[in-house]
A and B are shown apart, each in its own frame.
Chain A
């Protein structure tokens, strides 16, 4: 029984698509546009996210010492630091240098420091991390590694960047979710109505099927398959178009002004697959909604 139904559904779906090629084509075309807008938005969003992450990475790192480090210790630390990618050693700040800087900063109130018996400021090594070579977790890895070294008191890296950009990122994410959600609903609405078109074009057939005793489920399944296929076709075409536009765009940008640092990324394979799956699901949900409306009236 099951196999017969399966064969019927496959044949019926293909026949439906073939008999209504024009309606089907219009449907897929509409979906391509809807998905393209949605996918393009996701791509812009992913890139904004990528840039804020890029720019949000720490730039400077300071290694503070207990007392004044010996020359040998300093050299071995510098050597070890250079093993990490994208690291430039800026300068060594001795305890006296640090005090000097502080005095300058305090200006007229520098007299306050005269009462100190010994210099409480630590010596430190300042290094610069290059943004594009530093991974997300590298600063933290470096910090934990360095802090195990004898003579090193503490490692700090500028988190202000991260914090500032995190706030922007959170805002962008929120806007992204709201706007993406709205776009999703708009796509669903358009697609639901498109599928309704294909259902209405076959309402005589649905009526006859029901008159000869077909269950609702039996009538609906070919439409659900068709909606999913439309979703798949619309979704893949939209992604292909988006990819072609992306390729064209990055070559244009590269040839133009030196925008190299503002690199545009494409969606990851996993994300692409996810969007494709979404398109299929939207096609399926769209058919379910249209069928629900049709069967109620």
Chain B
């Protein structure tokens, strides 16, 4: 599903963000990417999502080489990858319904179908009564769930989550992790980047640890 071959990524003069990273994630895997702040976790997710290109090396996602993908193919690939960004990336002047519906509208689905799917997903995430709210009116945990709703509404092949529990209290953290587990059970390949060791304490899932850009 995802294969990285000797990926380097450097942003100018500083130490590279990723050094010789090779990684294979199979369909249906659940993987944690961990490591201290600045280790390159976010950069690794960005490479997979193709918002950054490797400085050298290759990245293959769903059979596509991201070094040789055009804008249109990339757009279609992204429809099959859901992402929960660290900063959520919700539109502050669109309400919850509109923010989530966006992921379907770009594909040209008919409106009744969009309505039905958005209602269903928001209900599933416990946001049914927040449809008309705007992101600034929501708590961090609620915004997080809106971002997840938008990421999973298309039943993506892959779900990438960057610090999904970053600034949540322990109860909400448990809730979000349970949610990701459920999404995984429904067949989605899930990759979670987190610096929190707490989160990994009793997990039997695969853990990839980064340190200063290298897999350790």
Q: A4 near B108 (CB under 8 angstroms)?
A: yes
- Interface size class on chain B is 20 to 34
Q: B79 near A213 (CB under 8 angstroms)?
A: yes
**CA gap between A209 and B111 in the complex, in Å:** 18
Contact pick for A8, options B79, B91, B105, CB 8 Å? B105
B102 within 8 A of partner (CB):
yes
Interface residues of B in 50-93 (CB under 8 A from A): 51, 71-72, 75-79, 83, 85, 89-91, 93
B109 within 8 A of partner (CB):
yes
CB of A279, distance to nearest CB on chain B (Å): 29
Interface string of B102-128 (1 = CB under 8 A from A): 110111111100000000000000000
A26 within 8 A of partner (CB):
no
**CA gap between A204 and B85 in the complex, in Å:** 14
Residue of A nearest to B103 (CB): A212
Contact pick for A1, options B79, B91, B108, CB 8 Å? B108
Q: A216 near B71 (CB under 8 angstroms)?
A: yes
**Given the complex, which residues of A lie within 8 Å of B109, measured CB to CB?**
4
Interface string of A7-20 (1 = CB under 8 A from B): 11000000000010
CB of A200, distance to nearest CB on chain B (Å): 16
A92 within 8 A of partner (CB):
no
**Given the complex, which residues of B lie within 8 Å of A5, measured CB to CB?**
108
A215 within 8 A of partner (CB):
yes
**CA gap between A5 and B75 in the complex, in Å:** 16
**CA gap between A83 and B209 in the complex, in Å:** 103
Contact pick for A204, options B71, B91, B107, CB 8 Å? B91
**CA gap between A297 and B38 in the complex, in Å:** 26
Contact pick for B110, options A4, A205, A213, CB 8 Å? A4
Q: A7 near B111 (CB under 8 angstroms)?
A: yes
**Given the complex, which residues of A lie within 8 Å of B107, measured CB to CB?**
213
**Given the complex, which residues of B lie within 8 Å of A214, measured CB to CB?**
75, 106
Which of the listed residues A209, A210, A215 has the most CB atoms from chain B within 10 Å of its own CB?
A215
Q: A211 near B83 (CB under 8 angstroms)?
A: yes
State the 5 A-B residue pairs at the shortest beta-carbon distance, nearest first.
A213-B79, A213-B78, A214-B106, A1-B108, A215-B75
> Assuming A3-B110, A211-B51, A211-B78, what are 15 further A-B pairs, CB within 8 angstroms?
A1-B108, A2-B108, A4-B108, A4-B110, A8-B108, A208-B89, A210-B75, A212-B78, A212-B79, A213-B107, A215-B71, A215-B72, A216-B71, A216-B75, A218-B106
Listed in ascending order, the chain A residues whose CB lies under 8 Å from chain B are 1-5, 7-8, 19, 204-205, 207-216, 218
Listed in ascending order, the chain B residues whose CB lies under 8 Å from chain A are 49, 51, 71-72, 75-79, 83, 85, 89-91, 93, 102-103, 105-111, 150
User: What are 19 A-B pairs at a CB distance below 8 A?
Assistant: A1-B108, A1-B110, A4-B109, A5-B108, A8-B108, A19-B93, A205-B91, A207-B89, A208-B89, A211-B49, A211-B51, A212-B78, A213-B75, A213-B78, A213-B106, A213-B107, A215-B72, A215-B75, A215-B106
